[in-house]
Amino acid sequence: MSGMTIDQLRERARGAVIEPGDDLYDEARTVYNAMIDRRPRVVVRCSDAGDVMAAVDFARENGLDLAVRGGGHSVPGFGTVEGGVVADLSGMRGVRVDPAARTARAEGGATWGDFNHATGAFGLATTGGIISTTGVGGLTLGGGIGYLTRGHGLSCDNLISADVVAADGRLLHASAEENPDLFWALRGGGGNFGVVTSFEFRLHPVAGIYGGVRFFELAETANVLRFYREFIADAPPELGAFPAFQIAPPLPFIPEARHGDTFIAMVACWSGALEKAEGALAPIAEIAPTVAAFVDAMPYAALNGLFDGLVPPGLQHYWKANFVTELSDAAIAAHVEHGPKVPAVNSTVHIYPINGAVHEVAPNATAFAYREANFATVIAGMWPDPADNEANTAWVRSYYDATAPESEEGGYINFMSGDDQSRIKANYRGNYERLVDVKRAYDPDNLFHVNQNIQP
Ligand X SMILES: Cc1cc2nc3c(=O)[nH]c(=O)nc-3n(C[C@H](O)[C@H](O)[C@H](O)COP(=O)(O)OP(=O)(O)OC[C@H]3O[C@@H](n4cnc5c(N)ncnc54)[C@H](O)[C@@H]3O)c2cc1C
Ranges within 254-273 binding ligand X (CB under 6 A)? none
SS3 217: coil
CB 48 → ligand X: shortest distance, Å? 13
Of 29, 73, 187, 214, which lies in the binding site for ligand X, with binding defined by CB under 6 A?
A: 73
**Cβ-based nearer residue to ligand X, 79 or 339:** 79
Task: Give the CB-nearest residue to ligand X.
Answer: 138
Q: Helix 221-231 and helix 329-338: axis angle, to 10°?
A: 140
What distance separates the 2 farthest-apart alpha carbons in the chain? 68
- Interface region with ligand X, contact rule CB under 6 A, candidates 125-133, 210-218, 266-274, 275-283: 125-133
CA 79 and chain centroid, separation: 13
Ranges within 150-209 binding ligand X (CB under 6 A)? 190-191, 195-196
12 membership: H or E segment, kind and range: helix 6-12
Counting contacts by CB under 6 A, is residue 72 touching ligand X? yes
**Cβ-based nearer residue to ligand X, 120 or 135:** 135
Nearest residue to 69 via CA among 451, 346, 423: 451
CB 16 → ligand X: shortest distance, Å? 17
Of 40, 70, 240, 339, which lies in the binding site for ligand X, with binding defined by CB under 6 A?
A: 70
Of 40, 84, 120, 135, which lies in the binding site for ligand X, with binding defined by CB under 6 A?
A: 135
CB 163 → ligand X: shortest distance, Å? 10
- Interface region with ligand X, contact rule CB under 6 A, candidates 36-44, 72-80, 114-122, 201-209: 72-80
**Cβ-based nearer residue to ligand X, 269 or 331:** 269
Residue 349, phi-psi category: left (phi > 0), alpha (psi -120 to 50), beta (remainder): beta
Q: Is residue 79 within 8 Å of residue 44, measured between CB atoms?
A: no
Query: DSSP character for 247?
Result: E
Q: Which residues, other chains included, contact 160 with Cβ-Cβ below 8 Å and sequence gap of 6+? A: 103, 175, 200, 201, 202
SS3 172: strand
**Cβ-based nearer residue to ligand X, 32 or 288:** 32
CB 333 → ligand X: shortest distance, Å? 26
The size of the interface with ligand X (CB under 6 A), counted in residues, is 33
- Interface region with ligand X, contact rule CB under 6 A, candidates 136-144, 250-258, 340-348, 391-399: 136-144
Counting contacts by CB under 6 A, is residue 311 touching ligand X? yes
Which CA distances in Å does 12 have to 49, 50, 449? 12, 8, 24
Q: Report angle CA 70, 75, 76 to the nearest 5 degrees.
A: 95
CB 219 → ligand X: shortest distance, Å? 28
Ranges within 368-427 binding ligand X (CB under 6 A)? 414
Counting contacts by CB under 6 A, is residue 142 touching ligand X? yes
CB 199 → ligand X: shortest distance, Å? 8
CB 166 → ligand X: shortest distance, Å? 11
Beta strands in 74-216 (DSSP E): 85-88, 95-98, 103-107, 124-125, 159-165, 171-175, 195-202, 204-205, 208-216
Question: Can you tell me the distance from the alpha carbon of 313 to that of 72, in angstroms, rounded to the nearest whole number?
Answer: 10
Positions touching ligand X (CB under 6 A) are: 32, 68-75, 78-79, 89, 108, 129-131, 134-135, 137-139, 141-142, 144-146, 190-191, 195-196, 311, 414, 451
